[in-house]
Amino acid sequence: MNEAETRAELIDSAKLTPLLKLKYHDSIADAVADLGQPEDIGRVFSGFQKYLYLSTTPS
**Each residue of 30-46: pLDDT tens digit?**
999 999 999 999 889 88
Q: Alpha-carbon distance 21 to 8, whole Å?
A: 21
Measure the CA–CA gap between 35 and 8, rounded to whole angstroms. 21
pLDDT at 41: 93
State the pLDDT at residue 6.
Answer: 62
pTM reported for the whole predicted model:
0.65
Q: Is 9 left (phi over 0), alpha (psi -120 to 50) or beta?
A: alpha
| pLDDT given at position 37 | 96
Over its length of 59 residues, how does the chain's per-residue pLDDT go in tens digits? 666 566 656 667 788 899 999 999 999 999 999 999 999 998 898 888 777 777 666 65
